[in-house]
Structures are given as C-alpha cells and as structure tokens.
Amino acid sequence: MKRIDLDDLPPKLAALLTSVEAGEEVLLVQSGAVAGRLTGGVRETAAEPDAPPTSEEAAKEIFEQFRSIMEDEF
C-alpha cells in the first residue's frame, strides 16, 4: 500500500485532503488530464466491533482505490 505523509505536502494540499467529506471526490489533474480520483471516507471517533472502518482504515481504502485507478490508467 502506498502512503502519503501530510507533513511532506504543501499546507494547502494537506488541508484540502484532510477536509474531504465522506463520499466527496478529489479529482487529480496533471497537464489538463485526469490522473486519478480520491474519494473521502468517514472519520470515526471510537472503534466498536460492529462499527464502520476507522479513519485510518478508510484512508487506506481511499489510497488503495487511488493506486488501483493509477495502475489501470497507466
């Protein structure tokens, strides 16, 4: 799995990525062409046995989707 450390990104980009709401998409564009999409997940404050994935698990899923899309495109 790929990982993006928000501390390594410019502040505006890090703020954009952390403010994405559940189900909201971030379109990744390079040279005017769509390079990929990220879909926001749900942040959970407490983990329960039957609870939906935590924010870390949701982030893993989002970046896994991104990786899959990028592999399909290139």
pLDDT tens-digit series, residues 5-31: 888 889 898 888 888 888 888 888 889
Give the per-residue pLDDT at 9: 87
Number of separate domains in the chain? 1
Q: What are phi and psi of 9, to 5 degrees?
A: -95, 160
| Range 39-60 burial, b when 16+ CB lie within 10 A, else e | ebbeeeeeeeeeeeebeeebbb
What is the Cα–Cα distance from 69 to 34, expressed in whole angstroms? 11
Q: Is the pLDDT of residue 46 over 60?
A: no
Asked if 63 and 40 count as a contact pair (C-beta separation under 8 A), the reply is: no
Q: Is residue 1 part of a domain?
A: no
pTM over the 0.85 mark: no
- Distance separating alpha carbons of residues 18 and 31, to the nearest angstrom: 24
Q: Which domain holds residue 56?
A: 6-73
